[in-house]
Amino acid sequence: MEASRTHKTPVSSSSITTVLKRIIAENGRDHVNGYIFAVLCLAVVALTTAFTAWIMETVVNEAFANQRADIVWLICGAILGAFMLRGLASYGQAVTLSKIGNNIVARYQRRLFSHLMTLSLGFFSESRSAHLAAQISQNINGIRDVLNLTVTSTARDLLTLIALIGVMFAKDWLLTLIVFIVAPPLLYALRYLSKRLRAATRESIIFNSHVLGAMQETIQGIAIVKAFTMEDELDRKVQSTIAAAERRANRIARLSERTSPLTETFAGVAISSVIAYAAFRSIYGGVLPGAFFSFIAALLMAYEPAKRLAKLQVQMERAVVNARMIYEILDMESPQRDRRGATELQVGEARIEFRGVKFAYGSNEPVLKGIDFVAEGGKTTALVGPSGAGKSTVITLVPRFYDPAEGEILIDGQNIASVTKASLRRHIAYVSQQPYLFEGTIRDNIRYGRPDATNAEIEEAARLAYAHDFILAQPMGYDTPVGENGVTLSGGQRQRLSIARALVRNAPILLLDEATSALDTESEAAVQKALDEAMTGRTVIVIAHRLSTIIKADKIIVMQSGTIAEEGTHQSLAQRPNGLYARLNQLQPGSGNNEFF
């Protein structure tokens, strides 16, 4: 069992029609009225465009050939009315489709964020956060574009083209047939281009997300970049990625714009043939030029919608590639869904028990190889051991960030795999080794521990974490913005806010992953006193490297290579002959603040 992997449903290279059906099924009903209005507006645009071409015969024959002054004003009024109506209809459809498109983008942004929150920690461990964010930001508009392209192409371009072709047939059916003789080869060529564009578009999106991801990671780690003089190396790496993305973008441009010479050649052949035929009839047949001018006007007006329709499949391929990549994320299923019939966790003394727990990250070597231990309710259990022993993995299994491959974890006799994750995590407060602060104020970041906490409770938690004084020293006190990931605060200050966030939660189980590792000696002593008070009456599992923390634990579990080597109290373990804990304890200097492991 690969506990850390997020299951992905197979995503086939579905056709445009398949993706379009799904998008319409998910969004069509909510926006049906808006789309009907937009289609009506686009139909008005199509009809007024066709009317402008139709009336050209009357303009030429009556106003110029027959010189009827009485009909000129009527013709001018009709043309003015048609253009005004087309302008209003164009405005109406553009605003309506924009509002619908913006709503669809916002809807999928909400849906994506909510779905990402349901995925396991394993998914985020395997995915580069910067790459994922860049991919989402690039692709989210694809779903909107698929719908908008479908509506505008069908209701505006296709209706306009049909109406103008109707005008052309009415004026001269033979000329219309001449125009369409060269159409089939054009359509075949465009279909060939769209297939090649599909693969190039996906590659381009991936490379662009790598570029944005690399830039984001460099900005976030700029201090390390400068400290280790990595500027030149990273610059070469990013420049190489940018060059690859540029090559893909150029390839897409070449493929996309190949439609232009094809359509222009088609238009040139059609229009030159029409002019030659019409000129022959006018010169040798004495036919009035009105019908010809009306026909040529319809033909020229039909050129733009025909060109847009010719590019439609190419544009749809690009939009559908974007939409597919969004659906690949939305179709991922978390392996950590609550079981059917999962119950609410009922916590009494908050006794935690590990029974035969085995765990591996993906297909890697096992990290835990059959762990058995009990963290007694209301007491502190310290995990110690060398780096890579599996201590942090034990911590992450309790709130079900991951699920064990074998064995079970129980809280007050209840298997945590059989209870809802929400009820489990409500009873747990967690302080990680790397404190993370979110965008917002200091007060907001502490309140994330319990959203309904009052200002008084927030300030009390800050006092217990020895953060109250430095918070008041900030320019706006508790309302001071912390900057991106608390960039305006020191490491020790960020950790104390993280501890305050855990304290305000007031949960019966407290998990501390080297919670004082970022503090200086003075701050650690102050926070340790606060933690001593906060841990009273709670079940605490703490990963500790410092002897001062370990000595006070009710039970110490010594881990090595994914197994439990020893367990007991500090005194019993320190006096055990040839014990791992005893040997390491004997190597420590006299100071109680030194690193133990």
State residue 9's pLDDT score: 39
Weakest mean pLDDT among 437-441, 515-519, 564-568: 515-519
% of the chain with per-residue pLDDT over 70: 80
Q: Give me the half-sphere count of Cα atoms (radius 13 Å) on the Cβ side of residue 143.
A: 28
- Could you tell me if 31 and 106 are in contact, meaning their C-beta atoms sit under 8 angstroms apart? no
Q: Name, in order, each residue with C-beta under 8 angstroms of 233's C-beta and a sequence gap of 6 or more.
A: none
CATH class for domain 341-427+550-597? alpha beta
Closest CA to 116 of 104, 133, 100: 133
Query: Checking phi first, is residue 266 left (phi over 0); if not, alpha (psi -120 to 50) or beta?
Result: alpha
Residue by residue, DSSP assigns 181-220 as GGHHHHHHHHHHHHHHHHHHHHHHHHHHHHHHHHHHHHHH
Residue 328 burial (C-beta neighbours within 10 Å; 0-12, 13-18, 19+) = middle
What is the mean pLDDT of the segment spanning 525-545?
Answer: 77
What is the mean pLDDT of the segment spanning 562-573?
Answer: 90
- Residue spans of the domains in the chain: they are 7-333, 341-427+550-597
pLDDT at 221 over 60: yes
More confident residue, 438 or 335: 438
CA distances from 187 to 180, 260, 307, 314 (A): 11, 13, 11, 12
State residue 10's pLDDT score: 38
Please, which pLDDT band fits residue 595 given cuts at 50, 70 and 90? Answer: low
Q: Which CATH number is associated with domain 7-333?
A: 1.20.1560.10
pLDDT at 440 over 80: yes
Query: Checking phi first, is residue 264 left (phi over 0); if not, alpha (psi -120 to 50) or beta?
Result: alpha
State residue 267's pLDDT score: 67
State residue 184's pLDDT score: 62
Tokens read off for 227: 């400290």
State residue 593's pLDDT score: 44
Query: Tokens 């579905």 identify what position?
Result: 14
pLDDT at 327 over 90: no
pLDDT (tens digit per residue) in 87-143:
999 899 889 988 888 888 888 888 888 888 888 777 777 666 666 776 677 677 778
Please, which pLDDT band fits residue 385 given cuts at 50, 70 and 90? Answer: confident
Q: What distance in Å separates the CA atoms of residue 189 and residue 187, rounded to the nearest whole number?
A: 5
State residue 187's pLDDT score: 61
Please, which pLDDT band fits residue 276 given cuts at 50, 70 and 90? Answer: confident
What is the mean pLDDT of the segment spanning 242-259?
Answer: 76
State residue 510's pLDDT score: 92
What 3-state DSSP class applies to 144? helix
pLDDT at 175 over 50: yes
% of the chain with per-residue pLDDT over 90: 20
State residue 454's pLDDT score: 93
Please, which pLDDT band fits residue 437 given cuts at 50, 70 and 90? Answer: confident
More confident residue, 171 or 429: 429
State residue 7's pLDDT score: 42
State residue 145's pLDDT score: 82
Q: What distance in Å separates the CA atoms of residue 29 and residue 497, rounded to the nearest whole number?
A: 47
- Could you tell me if 107 and 189 are in contact, meaning their C-beta atoms sit under 8 angstroms apart? no
Q: How far is CA 114 from the centre of its chain?
A: 10
Single-letter amino acid code for the residue at 185: P
Q: Name, in order, each residue with C-beta under 8 angstroms of 169's C-beta and a sequence gap of 6 or more.
A: 176
pLDDT (tens digit per residue) in 180-217:
775 666 666 666 666 666 667 667 767 777 777 777 77
Q: Name, in order, each residue with C-beta under 8 angstroms of 198's C-beta and a sequence gap of 6 or more.
A: 317, 321
Q: Name, in order, each residue with C-beta under 8 angstroms of 6's C-beta and a sequence gap of 6 or more.
A: 119, 120, 122, 123, 126, 332, 333, 334, 335
State residue 4's pLDDT score: 40
Q: What distance in Å separates the CA atoms of residue 550 and residue 377, rounded to the nearest whole number?
A: 18
| Alpha helices by DSSP H, 286-377 | 290-330
What is the mean pLDDT of the segment spanning 61-90?
Answer: 81
More confident residue, 198 or 353: 353
State residue 414's pLDDT score: 94
What is the mean pLDDT of the segment spanning 332-343?
Answer: 81
